[in-house]
Chains A and B, each alone.
Chain A
Amino acid sequence: MEKTLEKHMEEAFRIPGVSGVICTENSGLCLASQGNVSDQYSGSISALANQAARLCPTQNSPAPIIVLESEYGSLLIKKTDNITTAVFKSS
């Protein structure tokens, strides 16, 4: 059932510079993770995606991509359908 998701996550994890990938479902529970990512991040990631979507100017605009940057790396978050995906990149 989850083979396709795992395959796509592995592909994303293989991209140079990516240190972790995590997918969460609507309630903020962790679906799957790869690399150096704690399952406990899933709630915060889902909440961030939901809050950012509320700031979008129009209801029908696609979900925004959130980028968090720090001196140690960056984190990209995007919600698609019922899954929120976060990609951790090390600098």
Chain B
Amino acid sequence: MLKPRALSDVLSQANTGGIGSTLLLNSEGSLLAFSGFGDKDASAAGAIASNIWTSFQKSGQLSLDDNKLDCVLVECKLGKIAITKVANLLLCLCSEDGVSFGMLKTKITALSSYLEEPLSQIASS
């Protein structure tokens, strides 16, 4: 079984150097696990992130005939977010504006590789 505490600990490892929160969502955008500073907007952020991911995936399928979306990086006025898929779930990193896209992408890639196997086992069971 998956230990929620251990999962939160893994997610919290990314919360350094300007990254404010790490979210694990299901495909509908519901929050499964969260680690970060101040969780008042986490559910809303998760729902928006899921919506963005679904939109881009549909767009890629329609225009490029490719549904293998790897990563979405978004730059907003007050910060940046990165979204990627892990097993059948979504992983989202929210950061402040000063964090570089390269660091954001490297962290989300590292985290998704680490979580891919255990979350795939849960998804398939």
Contact = CB atoms under 8 A, between A and B. Distances in A.
Interface of A: 1-3, 6, 23-25, 27, 29-33, 39, 42
Size class of the B contact interface (CB-based, 8 Å): 10 to 19
Interface of B is mostly: helix
Contacts of B102: 23-25, 27, 29-32, 42
Contact of A30 (B17, B101, B107, B110): B101
A2 B100 contact: no
Given A1-B110, A39-B100, A29 B105 contact: yes
24 contacts: A1-B14, A1-B16, A1-B17, A1-B107, A1-B110, A2-B17, A2-B107, A3-B16, A23-B102, A25-B102, A25-B106, A27-B102, A27-B105, A29-B100, A29-B102, A30-B101, A30-B102, A30-B103, A31-B100, A31-B102, A32-B100, A32-B103, A33-B100, A42-B102
B12 to A, nearest CB: 11
B17 A25 contact: no
Contacts of A1: 13-14, 16-17, 107, 110
Contacts, number: 37
Contacts of A2: 16-17, 103, 107
Interface of B: 13-14, 16-17, 100-103, 105-107, 110
Contacts of A25: 102, 105-106
A2 B104 CA distance: 11
Interface centre among A1, A3, A32 (most CB of B within 10 A): A1
A49 to B, nearest CB: 14
Nearest to A82: B106
Contacts of B107: 1-2
Contacts of B17: 1-2, 6
Contacts of A32: 100, 102-103
